[in-house]
Amino acid sequence: MVHVWQHFLTTRKLRVSLFVSLFFLLVSLGDARTRRTQSVTPSTEEIVETYSKYYNYVELTGRLQSLAQSYPHIAALSSIGQSVEGRELWVMRITKDPNADAPGRPKFKYVGNMHGDETVSRQVLVYLVEYLLTKYGEEPRITELVNTTDIYIMPSMNPDGFEKSKEGDCGGESGGRNNAKDMDLNRSFPDQYDGTSTNPDKTPEVMAVIRWIQEKKFVLSGNLHGGTVVASYPFDDSASHQRQGHYSQSADDSLFRHLALVYSQHHDVMKTGQPNCPDTMDETFKDGITNGAQWYDVPGGMQDYNYLYGNCLEITMELSCCKYPPAYELQKEWDLNRESLLAYIEQVHIGVHGYVKEAVDGTALSDVSIVVESIRHNLTTGEYGEYYRLLLPGTYNITAVASGYTSMTVQGVQVMEGKATELNFTLASVVSEAAGRTTASTSSFTSTKDPEISTTTITTNFFTSTQNNNSPPVKPNKKKRPVQPNEFRHHNFADMELFLRKYSSEFPSIAHLYSVGRSVEDRELYVMVISDNPTVHEHGEPEFKYIANMHGNEVVGRELMLNLIEYLCLNYGTDQEVTKLVNSTRIHIMPSMNPDGYEVAMEGEVKGYRGRNNSNNFDLNRNFPDQFVTITEPRQPETIAVMNWLKSIPFVLSANLHGGSLVVNYPYDDDKKGRSQYSQSPDDKVFQQVSRAYSQENPVMHNGHPCEDLYPEEYFKDGITNGASWYNVPGGMQDWNYLNTNCFEVTIELGCVKYPMAKELPKYWEQNRRALLQFIHQVHSGVKGTVSDINDGSGIPNASISVEEIDHNISTARTGDYWRLLAPGTYSITASAHGYKPVRTYATVSSDGVEVVDFRLTRIHSDPNGHPSEGPQPTQNPSEKEFQSLIKDLSLGQGLEQLMKSTATESSFRYRRYKELSAFMRGLTLNFPKITSLQSLGQSVEFRTIWALEISNRPAESEPSEPKLRFEAGIHGNAPVGTELLLEFAAFLCINYGKNPAITRLINETRIVIVPSINPDGRELAIEKQCTSTQGLSNAHGKDLDTDFFGNASQRVVEAQPETRAMMDLILDKGYTLSVALDGGSLVATYPYDKPVQTVENEGTLKYLASVYANNHPKMHLGDTGCSNNVGNIPDGVMRAAERQSHMGSMKDFSMDFGHCPEITVYTGCCFYPPAEQLATLWAENKKALLSMLVEVHKGVRGVVRDRSGKPIVGAIIVLNGGVRVFTQEGGYFHALLAPGTHNIEAVADGYQQQRQEVVVSSYEAASSIVIEFDMDNNIFGLPREFVVASAAASMTALVVTACIIWCVCAAKSNRQKDGFHRLRQHRDDYEDEIRLTSMGSKKSLLAHEFQDESESDEETLYANKI
């Protein structure tokens, strides 16, 4: 980079340009996707292009800005996003009046430098921008092209990779091909064959381009690369993914070949088909073009994505053999490609083009499918109803298809060479054409999302029969007719409440009244359940629900539900249909979801909004989490209550009753584009089936003309409609049901008048009573059954039921039963569950009833070497089985809810200061001495004791086999809610010990340590009702204790605070299994780490543990904090701690890194120090979640490590999934929490062979105890012990024998030379010195020659490496 900057500094004009560029970058920070380039003062002199250098990012930015400023009438520069490293993805738009969108000009784009080290395209596209701008008004060809085409040019899609690449690197050795996250951008787009998904974090460049493609509806595109010289066209891959040689043909294959030839035949090298690239001299391409997959398979490529999902035809041009040739070759490359680039842009004007308009008022129709007969690829119209369909010369039959309109086909359309043929369509609404007829011409499909769908025009009969087509006509019943409701009036809340209580008390064997929550104004949200055993879920019996009056002023549904309750109760036991339904179905009826809104609505209102919303003025049917849109409005009490209700019962089918029209509306209710277009769910056929089941029983609805006086043009074929096709509803309840539960829900509009007069109510009952019953019958269609364990026959909860080719799974209920709605047909169905071998079978569903399909799954176990094996589980003693059954019961369904109801205690909530807190904890030990032990961890700065209370059946004894659970609160003194919750929790456990069997067993099997106030000094300073005050947050030294936990001395500047030291000693004292810390100021559960780290080992488990708490909190799991200090929703109420507020030295991180214990922090509410009156509510919200932690700590994996003799091994390392470590404690015991799934466990101990096992963890089962037995490590230096010992013995023997031989030889020589040595000794004095010197010289010489090393010394080598 040094020579670049020197060049800038020595060139005055470039210095000015650089200053302008940098100034612009500083002042234009913000969302680059939505803003245009801000105006800055241009250079006084135009930069002259030399075609002799590459532009780095700063230079490229300056060059493009300068051109945009110089030609504002035809050029506009914008950014569509940013790269990984924050560089803008610049796009130059070149057209007449570039700052306005107007129809009539097809959109074209070039994208270059997708691979950062393929750089010719980057420069060539800058030259093209300059050429188009400078020649506009001078050359007629360029002037016409710019005036008639909307041209977008992106010189660099991968600016980060370019900065890493090196000039002259022809083979791409510098590593700049991929983006800064090392992702190949041309392998990262959604793929038609293998479903390649786009990772927003790793490929922001791809995400930006996808948004750009979807927004602009480009017609033609070119993707410029390097590495050879050829034009490649779709498809780029095939279903087989054969590496080379497989021609993957698209529906527009001939057109793509033509477009590729246009480019290649204007390129002097490319058209020869012989690139003569040095590394592939034998590679040739006929006419300079190739099918992508035939050349080589490229899954996830951009050109295929454009064609399949973007309305756009794109080819890929490889421009040069050398990826990053020297700059002096740029002039040559520009000359070679200039004509090809221009000729290819001109191809955007071939084929046919035109507009699609509405017949009556001429309104433009967007998203209309343009279908060309015999070409299985459709495109859709744009915002102004415009379309551009590229076609080769010929004769075509072309059809325009739109939902709700009669298709229009034009036969024999002539397409000539050159300019496109204009062909406009005018579509008439089906409503106006079908009036008074029995048939209408319509398209055979309404969704245009799949470009491969072909179309035919068919005639569809509109049945007016009131009977279900799938069943014979109902004959008149000569027996006693069903009793009909005889009181029709509007019921206010008090009247409705009395009505419900009356029927619940009069028919207790089949009717049970309960409430799921309260409205804003504290009215109960009542539900009447009607079944032969109404209070419990019966195995094999489906759960059904009706919800009405969601909009308070839409009241017909409310009254119909009361009528239905009366009808079912009065006719049970006497009417065969009613009796069968009640005996086989658990029917839940909520007459009013919005009782507050109803109370202010006005009778006689037809179309108004008074009372529609709840008392907080929020539309409840826009208040649910949405799959496409983030709902920012605070979640309402009614919404929260219903969401929790739906999560607690395995509903199968549901209807949401509304008013204002007459139609059954099915999912999806919105789409990702926010447009009113068909948004198809995976179960579209099922939804249409159940919708028709209702509409066919309502003659007026089925007719399809619901409100001719109010909405004369509104028409719904068969009286049903896709929600988003009608109008877009983000945040709707029916979509949330389908996406988040097992339940299929539709929305039924019951009448055109929202609040009709009471005298009209009998008419509504008569129109809908058969439909209401017929819809309940639909819950008994499809398949149902039980998924059970083949070994003991027990039902498997949360098993997944998947249907091949339908991307929507459902899960089994608590006892393993399931219901899967399906349309008639044959299906491949698979049942799978954690720890079991999946089972697949085929089932044929008929229209006559439900098909029973049971699954029996075999458990997968692991042998000691980690290989999966099938067979019986290890034997367990009865007590262990009983405890595992308890954990399972508490983990499923209403287990914890029932436990809370059975352990209700009287509580008097208030805030306790330090003295009262200490007295309270001493009181617990005095009143419950057998299960409690109180100890001091240390003292605060102001000498207040930091108490720790242990609750266990043997608190003074060591029980290493039991999991140890730590609760702590009050690290921030200004957030004392957690302190009070833990004190109440401690009292709750102690009081119920010995009284409640579940609580007693949990305490007997767990060691619970509660530290209610870590920062007692700060707590004394805090002030009640101060929701945002930081007074008391720190300790008496002003230190935030949650920034004071450092395990390494090198990280610590000053000595730890006394409170910190006390907690550190506790954390390090003995092995804890789980820790839960309570804090305030938000409503979220966070997991490690607080410090900023890119990756977190075992993050899945940590996130899962936090989600367990959040899911058992009535509000937290909804993700809507409702706090002013939080923006937007938090998915599932769980987030990594650093994402909330990153900081170092936290207790959570210390617990993870040094205590080897996962810790989650729960923020219990928005207000740090709420009024004491709110403590009871906060306790009610957190009680179940706290208990869930007491259950969760018994899951995961636990066991003992010992040697073959049975001796326990203390200090062995248990490695989880190759990362996180835990250590065995006294007795060799260990316990580690893990997310549900299959995990690898390795056990390591000095002197023993490493052991591996695979374990399966369930979300509802207690951890099974495993035994890991170590063998002595028989390897020495990596070789078997026996081999090493034998080799050593042999070596010693050989050495002894050799020594003996040498001794014998020397002895013999000694005898022969005895006389010589005698004579030598006589002259010893003369020769002694000489002998000594000679001997020393010999040794020195020997050493010098034997060990001489001419390489550099260690010091020299180290120094050289540093240089």
Q: How far apart are CA 1327 and CA 1325, in angstroms?
A: 6
- Rounded CA-CA distance 658/671 in Å is 21
Question: Strand, helix or coil at 806?
Answer: strand
Enumerate the β-bridge partners of residue 1134.
1085
* Beta bridge partner(s), residue 1074: 965
**Tokens 């299959």 — which residue?**
1238
Q: Give residue 466's Cα distance to chain centre.
A: 44
Residues sharing a CB contact under 8 Å with residue 1223, sequence separation 6 or more, in sequence order: 1071, 1156, 1211, 1212, 1213, 1214, 1230
Q: In which element (H, E) is residue 722 found?
A: strand 720-722
Residue pair 1122/1081 in contact by the 8 Å Cβ criterion: no
> For residues 388 and 574, what is the distance between their CA atoms, to the nearest angstrom?
65
Task: Reply yes or no on whether 962 is catalytic.
Answer: no
Please, which residues have CB within 8 angstroms of residue 1301's CB and are 6 or more apart in sequence? none
The angle at the Cα of 160, spanning 159 to 164, to the nearest 5 degrees, equals 115
Give dist(CA 1357, CA 1348) in Å, integer.
17
What sign has the CA pseudo-torsion 894, 896, 899, 905? negative
967 CB-contact burial (10 Å; exposed 0-12 / middle 13-18 / buried 19+): buried
Number of other CB atoms surrounding residue 845 within 10 Å? 21
| Helix 878-891, helix 997-1004: angle, nearest 10 | 120
Alpha-carbon distances of 266 from 131, 258, 420, rounded to whole Å: 17, 13, 22
Residues 6+ apart with CB under 8 A from 523: 493, 595, 596
From 314, 749, 851, 980, the catalytic residue: 749
Cα–Cα dist 312/390, whole Å:
10
Residue 582: CB atoms within 10 Å: 23
8-state DSSP, 252: T
Give CA–CA dist 964/1194, Å, rounded: 9
Of 59, 88, 130, 318, the catalytic one is 318
* C-alpha to C-alpha distance for 804 and 787, rounded to whole angstroms: 18
CB of 103 within 8 A of CB of 94?
no
Element holding 1268 (H helix, E strand):
strand 1265-1270
- Please state whether beta strands 75-82 and 88-94 pair in parallel, antiparallel, or not at all (unpaired): antiparallel
Name the DSSP letter for residue 1091.
S
Bridge partner residues of 1256 (DSSP): 1238
Show the tokens assigned to 230. 């050829």
The owner of tokens 């922001």 is 204
318 catalytic residue (yes or no): yes
According to DSSP, the β-strands at 1074-1079 and 1159-1165 are parallel
**Could you identify the residue written with the tokens 């989880």?**
1216
DSSP, res 296: -
Q: Which of 1013, 984, 1030, 981 is nearest to 914 (CA)?
A: 1013
SS3 367: coil
The whole-angstrom separation of Cα 1344 and Cα 312 is 78
Task: Please give the single-letter amino acid code of residue 794.
Answer: S
For helices 57-70 and 12-27, the axis angle rounded to 10 degrees is 90
DSSP 523-569: -EEEEEEESSSTTSPPTTPPEEEEEE-SSTT--HHHHHHHHHHHHHH
Q: Which residues are catalytically annotated?
A: 318, 749
